[in-house]
Structure 1
Amino acid sequence: MQDSTWYVIAMIIYLLAMAAIGFWSYKQTDEYDDYVLGGRGLNPFVAALSAGASDMSGWLLMGLPGALFLTGLSEIWIAVGLIIGAWANWTWVAPRLRSYSEVAGNSITVPSFFENRLRDKSRILRVLAAAIIIFFFTFYVSSGMVAGGRYFESTFNGDYLVGMLIIAAVTVFYTFVGGFLAVSYTDVVQGLMMFTALLIVPIMAFISLDNPMDIFSFASNHPYGPNGEIDNPNYFSVFSGVSAAVVIGNLAWGLGYFGQPHIIVRFMALRKPADAKAGRFYAIAWMSLSIIGAVFVVIIGTVFFTQKNYTITDTQNYETIFLDMAQILFHPLFAGLVLTAVLAAIMSTMSSQMLVVSSSLIEDLYTIFVKRKPSEAVLINLSRTAVVAIAVLAGVLAINPSDSILGLVGFAWAGFGAAFGPIILLSLYWKRLSSSGAIAGMVVGAVITIAWGVSPLSDVLYEIVPGFLAALVAAVVVSLATKQPSNEVVQEFEQAAKLSKLAAKDADVDFEKAAQKVQD
């Protein structure tokens, strides 16, 4: 039996499992809030792995290894920044946002939370936030489709466009059918697959080497790659060959966590704020071990592909290292199961992002312009239609990719981090924030990120740094220059803070009753 046949069998097993989860989730989804936020019943383990899997995606298994292989360990600052940022996000944002989003009109999307938190009667804040989500997530979903096409090329030696369409179609199917619960529970399976594969592949590659200890010196002493095409004597240095601006820019990836809608929506879906503590433990443990695995895939890969004369499919960005290594090392069926970890990573992120975009299109744009709120069934069907629409648009952009996976992800990550990150933090911890300040911060953050990202300055410093700082300053200055928030807004802010502290002090407190009590 040909290797490709075994890969197809493994992929079919995986896709059928994802479809089954989607169907199960469909049976659990009766109301619109269930489709968008899972009825706020997510346990911390599911929330943590769902957030991690939807966050890391093809970047962890393809984008990061490619960057590390090509540039060296100086790229590790991205991973360090992400771990710090994820820890801070689970510590400072998760419990507070879970409390505040319920107190502030039971908000189920990030734009609706901003509007309810700041009592923006103009609706500008909500529409602007939704527009930013739709714009940047189009690029983000497109990066997933690019990864899917390259996965198909590397695994089956097939056509990029065919692979992209197949993977996109299956992802759209289970997101379309099952909504938030389908996305969350498939993410758990996908996160476990990614984690397992990132541990198994480097261990087996290490064992296969003639002299395993070469991995700690080879890349800096010899040209490496299948044809010895890369010469990097500073490979193992995290400082040499990189400027302070590059280190700062890579660390600043961690700032992006505060503003990623597909991640922070998991915080809003937790059963109670106290679950954030357990969620943080699961999330950071999963992320740290997965990143360590990805790093060793590359360090071992410098020797593996050079000394054994194995080839790498992608010789431009080297983003297929993990895929190629798995195919070489394992029996085709087991290799196929390992390779589905990449497919899992791609699909987990795409599904989360498409669901957030559909929520913004329907909950944050459509419902505020119709005179009468549609029925639950109509809202769910409209959200499903929006999932398909955003997938089609992202697919058009992915047909002829002009950037690496890491480049596409980096642009969207910076856009959300700069536009939403400062506003999320200020909304949760600064009662003086005004709707005008939030609008100013969002606009400045998005504009600076886009302008900086398309200019030569992006080669000097990652655009999230100027974008985040400019948005923060703009939001604070405009808020101080405009009218103070009403007593109603201040009182609600204090209620949310009190509820968050109460939930943190007593993990067993009945959160629903406590939330009602602080509002009475």
Structure 2
Amino acid sequence: MGASPWTVGAIVLYFAAMIAIGMFAFRQTDDHDDYMLGGRRLNPFVAALSAGAADMSGWLLMGLPGALYASGLVESWIAIGLTVGAYLNWRFVAPRLRVYTQAVDAITVPTFFEARTKDRSRLLRIVSGLVILVFFTFYVSSGMVAGGVFFQSSFGTTYETGMLIVAGVTLIYTLFGGFLGATYTDVVQGCIMVVSLLLVPTFAIVAVGGFGPMVEGINAVNPTFSSLVRGATTIGVISSVAWGLGYFGQPHIIVRFMALRDAREAKAGRRFGIGWMILSVSGAIVTAMAGIAYFHQHPEHALTDPEAVFLDLAQLLFHPFFAGIVLSAVLAAIMSTMSSQMVVTSSALIEDLLWMVSHREYSPRVQLWFGRVGVLVVAIVAVLLASVRNATILDLVGFAWAGFGGAFGPIVLLSLWWRKLTNWGAIAGMVAGAVTVFWWGQFEPDVALFGEHLYEIVPGFAVCLILAVVVSLLTYKPDAEIQAGFDETVAELDSFKQGKRPARQVA
């Protein structure tokens, strides 16, 4: 399907808008703290849409509709698990993390872990930074692979050209705009995504003659489409729902909680975020349903790749210019995730690793430019990794998501909710969780144990949690400073619930 000049023009307009937003954020970024955390001044709507857009990536517009198109609603268990996980993350992690990270003056997840456990060895911060560096390099690479595939299939470019276009534009607005650039563009991209996921299925339903003919078309093609259990297994459902566990440990998502203006706004953020997520996931599901009916009615428009159902419907049902705007939703999903991950990976490289090695104090402006150099380095390494293209997009995303869920998820929860977590417990759990994910993903012992694939986040999360608790109990020594910080955080959260003025305010 050839690309119209109108469609190309719409994509170029989208790119220009993203760069312009990045330049706007550049003028609001004065120092390293602004570059990495936006000065903790996000309102709940911005934080929620930014977290949602940074989370979903191209899976929402291509992977999920394609899986549903091919196999039916049985493939929606991942979406169910993710929605539940996102809600629990906003409900139990967001407000407490916002208060605690300000109390200990932490602007990254590794610095929070170090300050929370009073780790004087600095080893916890280094291990955390390395985990972020390794898994996010794979994650950013998956976005570049998706960008290359998108341009190759939609515009007929080479894979390498498409990858470099997406990487280059994302790098420009992230390099200069930092956290605020990534966040502001995420909001725009989140709006494009949800509007597109509502418009495409709506127009497709109208095109097939309404809801009734759509259902008839689905039944003619796949009578068992609506079953949540046909073809499912217990291990398969557990693996799919377990994706929700990953939310607790995703640095590019929970850093949005840290950047809220105060913890009270987490409630509004949860409503915005989950509302956006329900609308978006519902749109993806109905896109698959309407696509089945449409291509059944129009066999002349053969769909060769189920993951292209959203793309093909957009180009068939809309004027080329508006089709380009809708297609930019896929780029929005890809680029919003990449930009957020670049900033967090840069923070790990500069804030959590370079400072540990150099042992020097730098001025705020020098730190700011170090952060930009970190983004550039991460982007270059990810481009090199993506150019090899020895794994699928879903494989890369699933591996990185499991890595953070298994290594960071239990440590985040224990840091916020359990007083006795120690630095050695956190280190042991984190290393064991990461190694388990690596080992399980490479050698797949799950096949021998269960007869089918068990997603590696399940054993990784369990091993990390158990080992962190056991080692913490063995190494725990009462620390008045840690207990005071924990008690102060709980007291401040209680004051929020009672409607009192918070004890700490952002200057």
The TM-score normalised by the length of structure 2 is 0.95
Distance 1:259 1:301 in 2: 35
Query: What is the CA-CA distance between 1:483 and the residue it aligns to?
Result: 3.1
What CA distance in whole angstroms lies between the structure 2 residues aligned with 1:79 and 1:397? 28
Aligned to 2:350: 362
CA distance in 1, matches of 2:432, 2:272: 35
* 1:510 shift after superposition: 6.2
Matching residue of 1:229 = none
DSSP 3-state at the match of 2:505: helix
Contact 1:190 1:341 in 2 (8 A): yes
Structure 1 CA distance, aligned partners of 2:212 and 2:153? 29
Match of 1:197 in 2: 196
Structure 2 CA distance for partners of 1:155 and 1:464, relative to 1, 3 Å: same
CA-CA distance at 1:400 after TM superposition = 4.1
Alpha carbons 2:208, 2:214 under 8 Å: kept? no
Partners in 1 of 2:265 and 2:414 — Cα distance?
Answer: 22
Q: More deviation in 362-371 or 92-101?
A: 362-371
Within a 5 Å distance, the mapping from 1:69-468 to structure 2 comes to 69-104=69-104, 106-210=105-209, 212-216=211-215, 218-219=217-218, 221-222=220-221, 234-309=224-299, 311=301, 315=305, 318-456=306-444, 457=446, 459-468=452-461
Q: 1:174 to 1:312 in 2, by over 3 A?
A: farther
Amino acid in the other structure paired with 1:463:
E
1:383–1:152 distance in 2 versus 1, CA, 3 Å = same
State percent identity of aligned pairs: 53
Q: CA deviation at 1:77?
A: 0.8
Deviation string, structure 1 residues 432-488 (Cα, Å, up to 9, x no partner): 001111011101111111111223327421111111111111100111111324221
Asked whether the equivalents of residues 274 and 503 of structure 1 are also in contact (C-alpha less than 8 Å), the reply is: yes
The superposition leaves residues 317-357 of structure 1 with CA deviations (integer Å, 9 ceiling, x where unpaired) of x3222111101111100101111111111110000000000
State the shift of 1:235 in Å. Answer: 3.0
SS in 2 for 1:120: coil
Shift of 1:60: 0.5
- Alpha-carbon displacement from aligned partner over 1:272-311 (angstroms, at most 9, x marks no partner): 0000000000000000010000011111112222331255
CA shift for structure 1 position 217: 5.2
RMSD of equivalent CA atoms:
1.8
The 5 A counterparts of 1:509-520 are 509=502, 511-512=504-505
SS in structure 2 at match of 1:238: coil
User: Which of the residues 487, 492, 516 maps onto 2:485?
Assistant: 492
User: Helix, strand or coil for the counterpart of 1:512?
Assistant: coil
Contact 2:492 2:503 in 1 (8 A): no
Aligned-partner Cα distance in 2 for 1:102–1:439 = 22
Q: Deviations over 1:412-444 (max 9, x none)?
A: 111101110100000001000011110111011
Is the alpha carbon distance of 1:126 and 1:310 closer, same or farther for their aligned partners in structure 2, counting shifts above 3 Å?
farther
| Residues 357, 390 of structure 1: 8 Å contact kept | yes
- Aligned equivalents of 1:366 and 1:165: distance in 2? 28
Contact persistence 1:440–1:478 (CA under 8 A) = yes
How far apart are 1:174 and its partner, in Å?
A: 0.3
Pair 1:477-2:470 in alignment: yes
Residues 400 and 327 of structure 1, relative CA distance in 2, 3 Å threshold: farther
Could you list the per-position Cα deviations for residues 47-75 of structure 1 after superposition, in whole angstroms to 9, with x for gaps in the alignment?
00000000011111112122222332111
Deviation by residue 1:376-429 (Cα, 9 ceiling, x = unmatched): 121111111111111121112222434432232111111101110100000001
Give the Cα separation in 2 of the matches to 1:370 and 1:407.
Answer: 36
Residue in 2 that maps onto 1:66: 66
Q: Which runs of 5+ in 1 are unaligned?
A: 223-231
Alpha carbons of structure 1 residues 503 and 299: separation in structure 2 relative to 1, 3 Å: same
Contact 1:445 1:467 in 2 (8 A): yes
Which range moves more in the overlay, 148-157 or 245-254? 148-157
Q: Per the alignment, in what secondary structure is the counterpart of residue 373 of structure 1?
A: coil
Residue 313 (structure 1) shift = 6.9
Provide the C-alpha distance between the structure 1 equivalents of 2:309 and 2:393, rounded to a whole number of angstroms: 14
Judge conservation of contact 1:312–1:320 (CA < 8 Å) in 2.
no
* Matched letter for residue 46 of structure 1: V
CA contact 2:492–2:502 (8 Å) conserved in 1? no
* Letter paired with 1:90: W
Residue of structure 1 equivalent to 2:34: 34
Q: Which amino acid aligns with 1:23?
A: M
The amino acid across from 1:141 in the alignment is V
**What is the CA distance between 1:270 and its match in structure 2?**
0.4
What secondary structure, in the 3-state scheme, does the structure 1 residue paired with 2:235 have? helix
1:53 & 1:468 partners in 2: Cα distance?
24
* CA shift in 2, pair 1:278/1:502, >3 Å: same
**Residue identity opposite 2:357 in structure 1:** F
Cα contact 1:234–1:241 (8 A) shared by 2: no
Letter in 1 for 2:86: A
Mapped to 2, the partners of 1:11 and 1:262 lie a distance apart of 26
Secondary structure of the corresponding residue to residue 399 of structure 1: helix
In structure 1, how many angstroms separate the alpha carbons of the residues matched to 2:224 and 2:167?
Answer: 39
Q: Distance in 1 between matches of 2:168 and 2:345?
A: 17
Deviates more, 1:498-507 or 1:195-204: 498-507
TM superposition shift of 1:220? 5.3
For residue 264 of structure 1, what is the amino acid of its counterpart? Answer: I
Q: Which runs of 5+ in 2 are unaligned?
A: none
Q: 1:233 to 1:489 in 2, by over 3 A?
A: same
Deviates more, 1:456-465 or 1:122-131: 456-465
* Deviations 1:58-110, CA, capped at 9 Å, x for gaps: 11111212222233211111111111111110110000000000112x10000
